[in-house]
């Protein structure tokens, strides 16, 4: 789960990492009040779960309370890169002497943690990593030993002497935060040295491990604050994973790999997925009915492709599930059903015997994708 910047900064402060004074604002007037409280100026920052805010117009320096209100109004009205925006963060403007970058991330290639620091903050850090990798200091952190003093010295050695002590304190606390709160990423871009010598975090990106949410009950409350599409919510409440896309074929499959593969095969057949839903291992009539309801509630869907490979799940059970689901849900578009694997023949016999007018049963994944693409073109 990616946290909003203001949530990340709450965690930073709880762990003693200095941040600018700021207020979360849900209305333009609140941003104006915040600017007044900060002496007449403020930085207004859109709160979204994506990066690229600086380049995308999601951060604005405002020299007056009115300007802050105007910026906040624009952000709350227009959203950011297609994301709904229900809040902005207004922060005090601070005199910056120099900008740096630091992060600690779970490194999947080693199974441990990697801490990074560079004196060249504020720039496009990915470009820097490509073009001048030697400017970025990297330290592998053994999970059994944690971040040690020599790691911290190695990292902060990249910075000017005046910033080292402050940055060392920040990076130590970042690691504590990451460890105690089960984060897989903590990133500060930029970390800044102020004119008065303080080192503070101007930004906060924190990603927490979804698998660890059960041991952090306070994160469950934060999760409620993110906007969620109503269809997605319905799927989630039923324990299914639904993703909206921009094509015309609705896709239901069992297992993440097979669903991803189904999107690829449909694209190769010349169509595009409208959405997809992973029903996981189970494919009971209940699951199937909910899945079809969810998929069919998307008006962009012109055809549904149900792609099931029976492993432990038996295809005859799936076939009966689909038929039962269709007694509860009105199929408004054709359903291409591909059943393969355990008891596939029995499953197909059940489907053929039912002669349901909206079901087209096709034995292989490639042929089924071609049929789904054809039907969705016909319906266009």
Partner 1 sequence: MSVLVDADTKLLVQGMTGKEGTFHTLRNRAYGTDVVAGVTPGKGGQDIEGIPVFDTVAEAVHATGANTSMIFVGPRFAAEAILESADAGIGLVACITEGIAARDMAEVHAYLEGTATTLVGPNCPGVISPGLANVGIIPGEVCVPGRVGFVSRSGTLVYQIVYELTSRGIGQSTCIGMGGDPVHGIGFIESLAMFEGDPDTDLMIMTGEIGGDDEERAASFIAERVAKPVVAYIAGFEAPVGKRMGHAGAIVTGSSGTAAAKAEALEAVGVQVARTPSEVARLVADRLAG
Q: Quick check: 291 binds partner 1 (CB under 8 A)?
A: no
Q: Quick check: 215 binds partner 1 (CB under 8 A)?
A: yes
Binding mask 340-369 for partner 1 (x = CB under 8 A): xxx---------------------xxx---
Yes or no: say if 24 and 7 are a contact pair by the CB < 8 Å rule: no
Q: Quick check: 284 binds partner 1 (CB under 8 A)?
A: no
Q: Quick check: 193 binds partner 1 (CB under 8 A)?
A: no
Q: Which of 101, 113, 248, 371 is catalytic?
A: 101
Yes or no: say if 6 and 22 are a contact pair by the CB < 8 Å rule: yes
- Name which position in 93, 105, 331, 333 contacts partner 1 (CB under 8 A): 105
Q: Provide the β-strand partners of residue 337.
A: 306, 361
CA distance 294 to 275: 10
Yes or no: say if 304 and 276 are a contact pair by the CB < 8 Å rule: no
Q: Quick check: 163 binds partner 1 (CB under 8 A)?
A: no
Cβ distance to partner 1 smaller for residue 20 or 310 = 310
Stretch that binds partner 1, among 155-163, 218-226, 251-259, 315-323 (CB under 8 A): 251-259
CA distance 19 to 361: 59
Note if 101 is an active site residue: yes
CA distance 147 to 255: 38
CB of 107 to partner 1, least distance (A): 5
- Name which position in 19, 98, 189, 287 contacts partner 1 (CB under 8 A): 189
Q: Quick check: 40 binds partner 1 (CB under 8 A)?
A: no
Binding mask 109-148 for partner 1 (x = CB under 8 A): x-xxxx-x--------xx--xx-----x-----xxx----
Length of the chain: 380
Q: Quick check: 222 binds partner 1 (CB under 8 A)?
A: no
Q: What is the DSSP letter of 81?
A: T
Q: Which of 5, 60, 187, 248 is catalytic?
A: 187
Burial class (CB in 10 A: 0-12, 13-18, 19+), 296: middle
Stretch that binds partner 1, among 150-158, 265-273, 286-294, 370-378 (CB under 8 A): 265-273
Quickly list H helices, the chain.
Answer: 5-14, 28-37, 65-78, 125-131, 149-156, 161-180, 217-223, 230-237, 256-268, 285-296, 315-328, 344-354, 365-378
- Site residues for partner 1, 10-29, by CB under 8 A, read none
Pairs from 143-150 (Cβ < 8 Å, separation ≥ 24): 143/112, 143/113, 146/175, 146/179, 147/104, 147/115, 147/171, 147/172, 147/175
CB 195: neighbour CB atoms within 10 A?
10
CA distance 304 to 274: 9
- Name which position in 46, 69, 152, 266 contacts partner 1 (CB under 8 A): 266
Active site residues: 101, 187
Binding site for partner 1 (CB under 8 A): 2, 49-51, 103-109, 111-114, 116, 125-126, 129-130, 136, 142-144, 179, 182, 184-185, 187, 189, 205, 207, 209, 211-212, 214-215, 243, 245, 253-258, 260-261, 263-268, 272-273, 309, 311-312, 340-342, 364-366
């Amino acid at each position: 789960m990616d946290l909003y910047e203001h949530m990340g900064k709450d965690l930073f402060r709880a762990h003693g990492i200095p941040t600018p004074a700021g207020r979360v604002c849900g209305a333009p007037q609140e941003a104006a009040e915040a600017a007044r409280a900060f002496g007449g100026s403020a930085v207004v920052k859109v709160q979204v779960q994506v990066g690229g805010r600086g380049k995308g117009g999601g951060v604005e320096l405002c020299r007056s309370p009115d300007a802050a209100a105007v910026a906040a109004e624009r952000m709350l009205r227009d959203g950011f890169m297609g994301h709904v925006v229900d809040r902005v963060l207004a922060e005090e403007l601070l005199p910056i002497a120099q900008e740096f970058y630091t992060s600690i991330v779970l490194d999947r290639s080693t199974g441990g943690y990697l801490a990074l620091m560079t004196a060249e903050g504020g720039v496009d850090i990915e470009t820097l990593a490509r073009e001048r990798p030697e400017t970025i200091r990297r330290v592998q952190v053994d999970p059994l030993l944690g971040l040690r003093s020599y790691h911290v010295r190695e990292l902060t050695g990249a910075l000017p002497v005046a910033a080292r002590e402050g940055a060392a304190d920040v990076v130590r606390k970042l690691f504590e935060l990451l460890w105690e709160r089960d984060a897989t990423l903590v990133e500060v871009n930029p970390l800044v040295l102020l004119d008065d010598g303080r080192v503070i975090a101007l930004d906060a990106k924190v990603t927490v491990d979804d698998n660890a949410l059960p041991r952090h009950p306070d994160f469950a409350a934060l999760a409620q604050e993110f906007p969620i599409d109503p269809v997605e919510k319905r799927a989630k409440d039923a324990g299914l994973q639904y993703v909206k896309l921009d094509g015309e074929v609705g896709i239901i499959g069992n297992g993440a790999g097979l669903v991803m593969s189904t999107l690829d095969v449909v694209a190769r057949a010349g169509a595009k997925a409208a959405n997809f839903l992973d029903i996981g291992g189970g494919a009971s009539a209940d699951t199937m009915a909910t899945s079809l309801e969810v998929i069919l509630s998307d008006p962009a869907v012109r055809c549904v492709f149900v792609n099931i490979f029976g492993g432990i799940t038996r295809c005859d059970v799936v076939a009966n599930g689909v038929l039962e689901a269709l007694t509860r849900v009105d199929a408004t578009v054709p359903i291409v059903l591909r059943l393969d694997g355990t008891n596939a023949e029995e499953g197909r016999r059940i489907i053929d015997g039912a002669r349901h007018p909206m079901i087209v049963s096709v034995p292989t994944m490639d042929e089924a994708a071609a049929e789904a693409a054809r039907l969705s073109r016909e319906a266009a």
